[in-house]
Amino acid sequence: MRIELDMSSAVSSSVMESARLKAVAMTAEEALSDCNFYCKQDTGALIQSSLINSDFESGVLKWAEPYAEYQYTFPRARRDKNPNASPQWCARAEADFGDNWKAVFDRTYREEIGR
């Protein structure tokens, strides 16, 4: 018995890892935008801190103001600066956009694998 495998169309593990990293970064950027849509806002510093301190390549979103955790868990949100403001803005964004985040990851991963 003889078996031959045509590996010319196989995707290397380095290409797969590169595609995964790109998909994570794109998904994190999308998720941050959606989370900030619901983020509480007064001076804009909380949202700005997320843009500066998040690590998209690792998929880590971070609001780095000293009051961020308090504001996240505080059960009320003023809506004079951001009419969409919500307590636990990431949970709200995930509920509303989580399926889209999965789609962004899948689409980006497939596109990168196909390059």
Q: Give the mean pLDDT per block of 10 residues along the chain (115 residues).
A: 59 92 98 98 98 98 98 97 98 98 98 92
Question: What pLDDT score was predicted for residue 6?
Answer: 57
Question: What pLDDT score was predicted for residue 115?
Answer: 83
Tell me the pTM.
0.89
**Cα–Cα distance measured from residue 73 to residue 89, given in angstroms and rounded to the nearest whole number:** 9
